[in-house]
Chains A and B, each alone.
Chain A
Amino acid sequence: MPGSGTRQEHGAEGAIAPGWLALCHACDLPSRIGEVPAGGRARCPRCGSVLYRRIPDSLDRTLALALAGLILFAAANAFPFLELEMQGRVTHTTLSSGVRSLFEQGSPIVASLVLLTTIVAPLLQIGALIFVLAPLKLGARLPGQAQLFRVLRRVQPWSMMEVFILGILVSLVKLIGMAQVVPGIALWSFVLLIPVLAAASSSLDAEWIWRRVGLVR
């Protein structure tokens, strides 16, 4: 079968053995990745794109952040993030009630996009991280780890929690003139969730993981 042309080797723990071949994802130049110090990065000599980043304790860090993310995500969905009071009447909104209102008003396209980017994609992102990393940490293998790790990469661009926060901020400002607005518990969960998710994806050493969950190791 085509494609088993490259050698795969790695140390038992920690760093990937130097000398492996990578193609630049931006300009396709092949490079041998040499010794990368912990916390360092290897760049493409032609276009400067980052080919590999070696993150110390990547597995522990990413798993811890993903678990924290799961708790924050649950809180962010369970409680209302904004409450509105106007002439004695109170309404509040959670993530899912926002999506539901749009559906009921006859905007299924917009509602689906919001559902995808604020609930489905972040949940898949967090879930896939935990499903792939937790068994690795415990020294076990589960079927489907490689497939879910692929899903993670596809789903990440559609997870837009940090943009949602900006949306909340703009909404707050627009509403302040017309009514009393009270931030809910979920808002603080969102505010914490964004740096946690960002740190989780930037502490992930995908090459290192692939060498453990991939079909070729």
Chain B
Amino acid sequence: MTSHSEIPPGEALASCHDCGFVVALPAGAQRAVPRCPRCRAAVHRRKPDSIHRTWALVITAAMLYVPANVFPVMKVISLGKAQEDTILSGAVYLLVHGMWPLALIVVFASIVVPLLKLIALAFLLISIQRRWSWRPVERTRLYRIVEGVGRWSMTDIYVVTILVALVRLGNLATIEAGMGAVYFAGVVILTMLAAQSFDPRLIWDRTGEPDG
């Protein structure tokens, strides 16, 4: 129910990121940070330093992704024997026990999603820096998917939490969180922050300045 109207292409208009209020920014005032009259949030035409911030977060998350998958996320000590589980071996355990739908979900949420998220964000950043005009609608949709699906990576962190809290039976069986869980938590936080700091409007700005 919208009509593409006669408004001049949005040079002077900006919408508040928090409440959506449309503000007319005086031309050339991008450096000063005006406040939204409706909710008092800082109003920017684009998220500040979006490309640099997102790159920094993506690269850091990519570095943490390796130890997150190599180090064990938990250690099961049962009757004196210790067994360590990585993200992957945890999923394999489910597979071996015939729970393949759950194993697929865990592999997807913990291994595939973070990796795809990093690849997709890097691809979007490069496409903006190279000023591609290629398929902006699809690239915008890719961003929406990346933004929405990342939370499911928390599954393994919750599994560790629950098992640690539940299995504390002294010598009989105890479960401890491993180093991998810390790195993995870092990957989840950083990829979520990366998705939040990315500004999809940059996809449509191929002729404008690439970054503020």
Contact = CB atoms under 8 A, between A and B. Distances in A.
Categorize the interface residue count of chain A. Answer: 35 or more
Interface in B161-180: 161-169, 172-173, 176-177
Given A3-B24, A51-B2, A101-B165, A215 B38 contact: yes
Given A114-B157, A146-B40, A216-B38, A2 B23 contact: yes
B37 A36 contact: no
Interface in A47-101: 47-49, 51, 82, 84, 86-87, 89, 91-93, 97-101
Contacts of A24: 201
A150 B18 contact: yes
Given A6-B24, A32-B5, A146 B161 contact: no
Contacts of A146: 38-40
A125 interface: no
Interface in A87-119: 87, 89, 91-93, 97-102, 105, 107, 109-111, 113-114, 117-118
A214 B14 CA distance: 17
Contacts of B201: 24-28
B13 A30 contact: yes
Interface string A5-28: 110000000000000011111111
B57 interface: no
Contact of B152 (A110, A111, A158, A166): A166
B189 interface: yes
Contacts of A43: 2
Interface string A23-49: 111111111111111001011111111
A98 B5 contact: no
A86 B175 CA distance: 14
Contacts of A45: 2-4
Contact of B10 (A23, A25, A51, A206): A23
A24 B22 CA distance: 10
Interface stretch (A133-141, A169-177, A193-201): A169-177
A131 interface: no
A143 interface: no
A178 B173 contact: yes
Instruction: Tell me which of B24, B152, B157 has the highest count of chain A C-beta atoms within 10 A of its own C-beta.
Output: B157
8 contacts: A21-B7, A26-B140, A26-B144, A28-B205, A171-B166, A206-B20, A210-B21, A216-B37
In the A-B complex, the 8 residue pairs with the closest CB atoms: A167-B158, A5-B24, A3-B23, A23-B15, A214-B38, A98-B165, A93-B165, A31-B2
Interface of A: 1-6, 21-37, 40, 42-49, 51, 82, 84, 86-87, 89, 91-93, 97-102, 105, 107, 109-111, 113-114, 117-118, 146-147, 149-150, 153-154, 157-158, 160, 163-164, 166-171, 173-175, 177-179, 206-207, 210, 214-216
